[in-house]
Structure 1
Amino acid sequence: MSPTPSLPQTDDHGGLRERAVAWATQAPLFVPFVFVILFFFVPMGWLVATSMSTHEVGSPPAFTGTLEHYARFWTDPFYLETALWTTVKLSVASTVLALIVGYVLAYYIAELPPHRRGFLTSMVVVSLSVNIVIRIFGLNVLLMSGGLIDSALTMIGLPKVRIMYTELGVLIGLVQIAVPYVVLPLIGVIAAIDPALKEAAASVGANRIRTFWAVTFPLSLPGVVAGTLIAFTLNAAAFAIPSLMGGGRVRMMGKMAYDQATVQGNFPFAAAVGISLTMLSIVITALYLLVISRTFRTARKAA
């Protein structure tokens, strides 16, 4: 009687070792997710819970699930006019102005030879390395009463214009801070446009202006969208600029949330303002992307 052939034995230890090596190889991929969960979603969850808590002077917030702080903010004309409308108005206006200034600068840089383009691009990057407070103090020197602009207007006989501690001053500060974030995405996009497309448009009789609107600008829209989204989200949540250039008179939502938490000690209401600002930014961004998406689809169908 022939012996029964034995089945090959699996190496359990080898399998465990392979799984351990595979896990160790993939584990670093989970680090960004863990970081986002710990330092974004957990604080946001805590902020939502705080916004739904009661506020009593001298006592810590107690979670009760109340929505009174949201109702107070969204139904009081004072907050809607002095914080909500000011935030939307200044953030949208500063984004549009930053796009105009940034596009002109990015277009100029992208049309330069590569060696000169790199130098000017590095200058834009260097401007981002300067602390925002220092940049604001530099603007104060220019815009304050008795500053360089005020003195220049006086020397040439023009009336003085009050800029500091007004919405105009805050708007100038927001634009100045946002321009580099618009320029950097646009430089690469505009520089990557095939010159043959512009030559083809010129060959059929299009002048430079028509070529720009028919070729350059449509192809640069991805950079426009990226730059404007960054600029809008930064400006909508601005705190330092309204505080230092608004002098407490320009009450954007970020500044209002800070005052409610530090001056009034009303952390639940401050949290409600912060969450409202977040949701407002998400809604405006979603509407903006929806309009852009529909515009792209309409353009493709027309083509």
Structure 2
Amino acid sequence: MRRFRQLTIPYLIWAVVMLLIPMGLILMYSFLRPGNSIIHFQLTLENYIRFFTDQDFLIILWRSLLIALKTTVICLLLGYPIAYFISRCSEKTQSALILAITVPMWINMLVRTYAWIGILSKGGLASWFLSLFGVKNAELLYTEAAVLIGMVYNFLPFMILQINTVLSKMDKSLLEASADLGANKFQTFWRVVFPLSLPGVVSGITLVFLPAVSAFFIPKLLGGGQYFLIGNVIENQFITVGEWNFGSAISMIMAFVMMLLMMLVRRLDRKSGREDS
């Protein structure tokens, strides 16, 4: 056991260097005034007060949470049926379908998002498709719909894979027992399949919502700067404005929000686990 613990030392060092130290620096910057030197600095809460007293930033935060919620709901509505269909296929077909879902993820997310610029722009594939239904000269680019499409496209595989993993491991004898007791297909799904798949649903929601709420390059590319989210605000403070202190404060606020959401999701997962038992 002692030898096994020694093997974890490199991972602990990596976590400290790559995670704790950067987070510690961001936390320190968030409580400092702009222009403080390393030796002489003054602690302040002005950066946090500025965020919570400025209505524009609160609106952007609410917009980010709302679009992340929309993305999560759409991914769940699309991802669950796909994952359920894959889990009912043979093992060979399942492997092929999972490969088809994961292959696009091998390509950099930024490159995949750039591809949607051509699809959603005027004269693109989306415009041609809408013209078949009588909607001419349509351009979805630089709209909330474009941002949602980009979000769903990039994060949908995470939802599908998490749910499919749980459904594939489900004991098929439970379905047979439900049918023997007289339950129809809908009753079997609602009372047996769905409750047992909730851990995968919760994991999928976590993996979709958390990156969606802090995404910055998808709104920047597909929203064209007209649809500003909290991730864009943080990027703007660090790169364009140069207010690292305020940007660090917003980053810590978002980290705190994400921690609260993760705790809520875990509590819901534990509660559903107790009810199933």
Which category of TM-score, normalised to the shorter sequence, fits these structures? Answer: over 0.9
Give the deviation of 1:188 after TM superposition.
2.1
Which deviates more from structure 2 when the two are superposed, residues 285-294 or residues 259-268?
A: 285-294
Partner of 1:124: 101
For residues 198 and 24 of structure 1, do their structure 2 counterparts lie closer, same or farther at Cα, with a shift above 3 Å needed? closer
SS at match of 1:55: coil
> Given residue 146 of structure 1, which amino acid in structure 2 is its aligned partner?
G
More displaced stretch, 70-79 vs 290-299: 290-299
Aligned length: 276
Do the aligned partners of 2:72 and 2:209 also contact (CA within 8 Å) in 1?
Answer: yes
Q: Aligned partner of 2:231: which letter?
A: G
| Equivalent residues of 1:52, 1:63 under 8 A apart | no
Instruction: Please say if 1:186 is aligned against 2:163.
Output: yes
Residues 199, 63 of structure 1: alpha-carbon distance in 2 compared, 3 angstrom cutoff: farther
Instruction: Tell me the amino acid that sits aligned with residue 53 of structure 1.
Output: L
The CA distance in 1 between the partners of 2:249 and 2:136, in whole Å, is: 43
Residue 9 (structure 1) aligns with = none
Note the alpha carbon deviations across 1:52-87, whole angstroms, 9 max, x for none.
Answer: 11125xx76874221111111112111111x20111
Cα deviation, residue 109, structure 1: 1.0
* Matches of 1:26 and 1:282, distance apart in 2: 28
1:35 aligns with 2:14: yes
Report what 1:98 is aligned to. 75
Flag the structure with larger Rg: 1
1:175–1:63: structure 2 CA closer, same or farther, 3 Å change rule? farther
Pair 1:120–1:268, CA change in 2 (3 A):
same
Matched, 1:220 2:197: yes
Cα distance in 1 for partners of 2:6, 2:48 equals 41
Question: Is the 2:216–2:231 Cα contact (8 Å) retained in structure 1?
Answer: yes
Aligned to 1:158: 135
Q: Cα 1:213–1:161, aligned 2, differ >3 Å: closer, same or farther?
A: farther
The 1:146–1:246 alpha-carbon spacing in structure 2 relative to 1, beyond 3 Å, is same
> What whole-Å deviation, never above 9, does each CA across 1:139-196 have from its counterpart, x for those lacking one?
2222112211112323442255442212221111111111111111222210111111
Equivalence map 1:65-80=2 (5 Å): 65-80=43-58
The equivalent residue for 2:62 is 85
For the structure 1 residues 38 and 113, does the alpha-carbon distance in structure 2 shift closer, same or farther, using more than 3 Å as the test?
same
CA deviation after TM superposition for structure 1 residue 26, in Å: 4.4
Partner secondary structure for residue 165 of structure 1: coil
How far off is 1:249 after superposition? 1.4
% identical aligned pairs: 30
Q: Distance in 1 between matches of 2:274 and 2:131?
A: 53
Aligned residue runs from structure 1 range 166-185, under 5 A: 166-185=143-162
Q: Mark the runs of 5 or more structure 2 residues left unpaired by the alignment.
A: none
Secondary structure of the corresponding residue to residue 34 of structure 2: strand
**Which residue type is aligned with residue 117 of structure 1?**
Q
Residues 203, 94 of structure 1: CA spacing in aligned structure 2 closer, same or farther, 3 A cutoff? same
Contact 2:76 2:205 in 1 (8 A): yes
SS in 2 for 1:54: coil
Q: Is the aligned partner of 1:51 residue 2:30? A: yes
Amino acid at match of 2:118: V
Contact 1:49 1:63 in 2 (8 A): no
- For 1:167 and 1:63, how far apart are their aligned partners in 2? 42
Match of 2:176 in 1: 199
* Matched AA of 1:100: L
Gaps of 5+ in 1: 1-21
Specify the code of the residue in structure 1 equivalent to 2:16.
I
Pick closer, same or farther for the CA change 1:207–1:159 going to 2, 3 Å: farther
Residue 278 of structure 1 and its aligned partner are, at CA, apart by 0.9
**Preserved CA contact (<8 Å) 1:202 1:211:** yes
Q: Is this contact kept in 1: 2:179–2:188, CA < 8 A?
A: yes
What CA distance in whole angstroms lies between the structure 2 residues aligned with 1:224 and 1:295? 11
Between 30-39 and 134-143, report the one with greater CA deviation: 134-143
Where 1:53 maps in the other structure, the secondary structure is coil
Secondary structure of 2:81's counterpart equals helix
Partner of 2:209 in structure 1?
A: 232
